[in-house]
């Protein structure tokens, strides 16, 4: 006898878990209720359209992104003007909200949704908000039908068409027309991260036409919408344990949940930076929260987690980060550019062994360091170099300096060559082209004639005598096509006049 009783008890429990439920007024929210909800995005893993009799919906893998607490108060606790419009014949329950979705960019406070619950139905009577300090009740001409009681799997479909419009002087005009069609399309067991519940599912098709006209810009915007709401109702929960809203490709979910420690996704690029003109800096996007992996899109069109930039002027860089669940966050940083004029030492130079050259860093640097072949040799703005200690070789001259906190450097190669015994400094600079040269070298505006003595000194110290040709548009022209490639010192003498130039033969 005991065994039969136990078996019967287990069968009754089993039937109870999968039995159909009935939703009534007792399952709706009451004054004083507070219900915590988690918001999540639906990935393509879920298909909310799937349903049926004795169906099992598994949404246990939903990932909460944010949380809100939905509360319900008496209509008598709302602003007085609201109470006049939403009297007891119209509404007997109100829920405070932060904003109203169909009023984008309107500065509002004291916003509420008003409901009317009775033994026969649960309806949405309208909205109210204070706009620019003026209370504005927004009562539908016909209350929006949400549920008709008792609600069972065999309940017939119902619908409502609700209209509201208002003209707000100095702000604009708004109207909304909403048609809702409700039907019970399934029942069974639903699992969310909060638990498992026997549920009745209501599917609502919502057709909505919004019209907004803003006086300040004199622009009207009509908005036509079609979205689907899937709501899983359970006994004693007040509101749906899960609501999924699908509008085009966007699908979102909201479900009853417990308190969770959610870290909102954010990105930081660090503090604003100051660099010297000509310098580069690496910017790294540090992401916290969200669900990895992340994707990045900078305003430079780069798609990596870091970028190296070298702006010529102060520039703000920004990055948009998207996580695996399509949550996004935005960060920016400004790179301030300090004006900085670099010091240059000029081109590489080839000198006769008896010559010297003077480099001048100018009067701007706060600090100067000269190096020859890696050895520091001076710290004055001016620096003179000759072949002492270098011989017939090349010297790498490097200048490192600081100007108002900006660091800079430059290098130049100075070569010393034998120049056929000519050791004075009375050489005129020659204008030659092209340089580097492959075949014919043109010498311009020098004042020399074809009778001048022309020598080329190679990097090995060898001196080659060249014969010049007279050209119409040039003073002189010489053929270097048979010379080996390299750096040469060109010297021209005629009477007491001397000229010099460094050339590169390809």
Instruction: Give the tens place of pLDDT for each residue, 123-137.
Output: 999 999 988 788 889
List residues bridging with 383 in a β-sheet.
Answer: 359
> Does residue 386 sit in helix, strand or coil?
strand
Angstrom distance (rounded) from CA 26 to CA 43: 34
In sign, the C-alpha dihedral spanning 142, 145, 150, 154 is: positive
Encoded tokens for 279: 């310098």
Label the pairing between strands 315-322 and 328-338. Answer: antiparallel
> Does residue 73 sit in helix, strand or coil?
strand
Residue 204 CA, chain-centre distance (Å), reads 37
User: For residue 51, is pLDDT > 90?
Assistant: yes
**Mean pLDDT (whole number) for 52-78:** 92
Stronger pLDDT, 445 or 122, i.e. the higher one = 122
Stronger pLDDT, 487 or 425, i.e. the higher one = 487
Is the residue at 2 inside a domain? Answer: no
User: For residue 6, is pLDDT > 80?
Assistant: no
Q: Are residues 248 and 373 in the same domain?
A: no
Q: Where are the beta strands (DSSP E) in 107-265?
A: 108-117, 121-131, 134-148, 158-168, 172-192, 195-214, 219-233, 242-247, 250-256
Is the residue at 369 inside a domain? Answer: yes
In this predicted structure, what is the pLDDT of residue 462? 67
Q: Are residues 190 and 98 in the same domain?
A: yes
Angstrom distance (rounded) from CA 434 to CA 410: 26
Give yes or no for a contact between 160 and 143, defined as CB atoms under 8 angstroms apart.
yes
User: For residue 297, is pLDDT > 80?
Assistant: yes
**Mean pLDDT (whole number) for 142-160:** 96
Q: What are phi and psi of 304, to 5 degrees?
A: -100, 170
CA distances from 153 to 156, 285, 312 (A): 9, 52, 69
**pLDDT range class, residue 505, cuts 50, 70, 90:** confident
Q: Are residues 232 and 102 in the same domain?
A: yes
In the chain, DSSP finds a helix count (H) and a strand count (E) of 2, 36
**Mean pLDDT (whole number) for 274-302:** 90
**pLDDT range class, residue 419, cuts 50, 70, 90:** low
Give yes or no for a contact between 103 and 113, defined as CB atoms under 8 angstroms apart.
no
User: Apex CA 199: angle with CA 194 and CA 204, to 5°?
Assistant: 105
Q: Tell which of 235, 256, 277 closes a domain.
A: 256
Average pLDDT, the chain: 85
Is the residue at 347 inside a domain? Answer: no
Looking at residue 176, the DSSP 8-state letter turns out to be E
Is the residue at 7 inside a domain? Answer: no
In this predicted structure, what is the pLDDT of residue 427? 67
When mean pLDDT is compared across 104-113, 220-229, 326-335, the lowest value belongs to 104-113
Q: Are residues 247 and 310 in the same domain?
A: no
In this predicted structure, what is the pLDDT of residue 5? 47
Neighbours of 458 (CB within 10 A): 17
CATH code assigned at 317:
2.60.40.10
Write out pLDDT tens, residues 435-445: 788 888 888 76
Angstrom distance (rounded) from CA 266 to CA 468: 74
**pLDDT range class, residue 4, cuts 50, 70, 90:** very low
Is the residue at 477 inside a domain? Answer: yes
Angstrom distance (rounded) from CA 260 to CA 193: 11
Q: Are residues 234 and 100 in the same domain?
A: yes
Give yes or no for a contact between 326 and 300, defined as CB atoms under 8 angstroms apart.
no
Q: Are residues 235 and 308 in the same domain?
A: no
Reduce the secondary structure of 260-300 to three states and give it as a string: CCCCCCEEECCCCEEEECCCCEEEECEEECCCCCCEEEECC
List residues bridging with 276 in a β-sheet.
Answer: 338
When mean pLDDT is compared across 290-294, 362-366, 424-428, the lowest value belongs to 424-428
Angstrom distance (rounded) from CA 185 to CA 204: 10
In this predicted structure, what is the pLDDT of residue 25? 96
Encoded tokens for 375: 């050895």
> Does residue 360 sit in helix, strand or coil?
strand
**Mean pLDDT (whole number) for 51-68:** 91
Give yes or no for a contact between 378 and 401, defined as CB atoms under 8 angstroms apart.
no
User: For residue 111, is pLDDT > 90?
Assistant: yes
Q: Are residues 496 and 410 in the same domain?
A: no
User: For residue 472, is pLDDT > 90?
Assistant: no
Q: Residue 330: which domain range?
A: 266-338
Percent of the chain at pLDDT above 90? Answer: 44
Percent of the chain at pLDDT above 70? Answer: 89
Is the residue at 346 inside a domain? Answer: no
Q: Are residues 376 and 490 in the same domain?
A: no
Q: Are residues 27 and 95 in the same domain?
A: yes
**Mean pLDDT (whole number) for 288-312:** 91
Cβ neighbors of 210 (< 8 A, separation 6 or more) are 102, 174, 175, 176, 222, 223, 224, 225
Angstrom distance (rounded) from CA 43 to CA 65: 13
**Mean pLDDT (whole number) for 452-459:** 77
**Mean pLDDT (whole number) for 184-198:** 96
User: For residue 397, is pLDDT > 80?
Assistant: yes
In this predicted structure, what is the pLDDT of residue 18? 54
Angstrom distance (rounded) from CA 198 to CA 261: 27
**Mean pLDDT (whole number) for 442-462:** 75
Neighbours of 152 (CB within 10 A): 14
Neighbours of 165 (CB within 10 A): 12
Q: What are phi and psi of 439, to 5 degrees?
A: -135, -70
What is the reported pTM?
A: 0.55
Encoded tokens for 257: 């949940």
56 CB burial (10 A radius; 0-12, 13-18, 19+): exposed
Half-sphere exposure of 425 (CA within 13 A, CB side): 6
**Mean pLDDT (whole number) for 48-74:** 92
Q: Are residues 250 and 375 in the same domain?
A: no
Give yes or no for a contact between 285 and 270, defined as CB atoms under 8 angstroms apart.
no
User: For residue 459, is pLDDT > 60?
Assistant: no
Q: Are residues 228 and 279 in the same domain?
A: no
The secondary structure element, H or E, covering residue 179 is strand 172-192
User: For residue 407, is pLDDT > 80?
Assistant: yes
Stronger pLDDT, 350 or 52, i.e. the higher one = 52
Angstrom distance (rounded) from CA 476 to CA 470: 5
Encoded tokens for 205: 């098709």
CA max distance for the chain: 139
**Mean pLDDT (whole number) for 236-257:** 94
Is the residue at 9 inside a domain? Answer: no
Neighbours of 450 (CB within 10 A): 15
**pLDDT range class, residue 104, cuts 50, 70, 90:** low
Give yes or no for a contact between 21 and 198, defined as CB atoms under 8 angstroms apart.
yes
Residue by residue, DSSP assigns 490-503 as EEEEETTEEEEEEE
When mean pLDDT is compared across 155-159, 339-343, 349-353, the lowest value belongs to 349-353
User: For residue 422, is pLDDT > 50?
Assistant: no
Q: How many domains does the chain have?
A: 4
User: For residue 171, is pLDDT > 70?
Assistant: no
Is the residue at 238 inside a domain? Answer: yes
Angstrom distance (rounded) from CA 435 to CA 33: 88
In this predicted structure, what is the pLDDT of residue 426? 59
Q: Are residues 176 and 119 in the same domain?
A: yes
């Amino acid at each position: 006898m005991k065994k039969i009783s136990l078996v019967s008890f287990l069968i009754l429990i089993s039937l109870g878990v999968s039995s159909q439920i009935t939703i009534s007024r007792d399952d709706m929210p009451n004054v004083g209720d507070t219900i915590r909800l988690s918001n999540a995005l639906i990935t393509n893993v879920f298909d909310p359209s799937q349903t049926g009799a004795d169906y099992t919906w598994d949404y246990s893998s939903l990932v909460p992104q944010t949380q809100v607490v939905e509360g319900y108060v008496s209509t008598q606790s709302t602003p007085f003007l609201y109470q006049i419009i939403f009297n007891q014949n119209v509404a007997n329950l109100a829920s405070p909200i932060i904003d109203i979705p169909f009023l984008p960019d309107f500065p509002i406070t004291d916003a509420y949704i008003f409901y009317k619950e009775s033994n026969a139905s649960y309806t949405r009577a309208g909205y109210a908000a204070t706009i620019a300090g003026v209370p504005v009740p927004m009562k539908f001409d016909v209350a929006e039908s949400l549920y008709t009681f008792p609600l069972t799997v065999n309940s017939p479909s119902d619908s409502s068409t609700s209209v509201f419009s208002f003209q707000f002087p100095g702000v604009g005009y708004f109207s909304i027309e909403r048609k809702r069609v409700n039907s019970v399309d399934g029942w069974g067991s639903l699992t969310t991260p909060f638990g498992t519940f026997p549920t009745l599912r209501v599917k609502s098709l919502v057709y909505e036409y919004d019209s907004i006209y803003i006086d300040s810009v004199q622009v009207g915007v009509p908005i036509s919408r079609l979205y689907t709401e899937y709501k899983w109702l359970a006994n004693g929960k007040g509101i749906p344990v899960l609501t999924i809203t699908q509008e085009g490709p966007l699908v979102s979910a909201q479900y009853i949940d417990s308190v969770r420690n959610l870290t909102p996704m954010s990105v930081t690029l660090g503090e604003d930076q100051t660099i010297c003109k000509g310098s580069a800096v690496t910017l790294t996007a540090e992401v916290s929260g969200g669900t990895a992996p992340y994707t990045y899109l900078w305003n430079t069109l780069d798609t990596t987690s870091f970028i190296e930039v070298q702006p010529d002027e102060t520039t703000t860089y920004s990055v948009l980060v998207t996580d695996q669940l399509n949550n996004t966050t935005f960060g920016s940083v400004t790179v301030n550019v300090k004006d900085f004029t670099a010091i240059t030492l000029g081109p590489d130079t080839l000198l006769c062994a008896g010559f010297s050259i003077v480099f001048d860093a100018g009067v701007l640097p706060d600090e100067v360091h000269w190096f020859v072949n890696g050895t520091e040799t001076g710290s004055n703005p001016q620096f003179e170099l000759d072949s002492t200690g270098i011989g017939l070789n090349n010297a790498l001259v490097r200048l490192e300096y600081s100007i108002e906190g900006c660091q800079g450097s430059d290098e130049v190669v100075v070569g010393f060559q034998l120049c056929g015994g000519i050791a004075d400094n009375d050489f005129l600079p020659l204008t030659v082209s092209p340089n580097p040269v492959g075949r014919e070298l043109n010498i311009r505006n020098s004042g020399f004639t074809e009778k001048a003595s022309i020598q080329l000194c190679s990097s090995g110290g060898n001196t080659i005598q060249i014969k010049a040709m007279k050209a119409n548009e040039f003073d002189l022209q010489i053929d270097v096509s048979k010379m080996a490639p390299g750096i040469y010192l060109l010297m021209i003498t005629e009477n007491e006049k001397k000229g010099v130039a460094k050339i590169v033969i390809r």
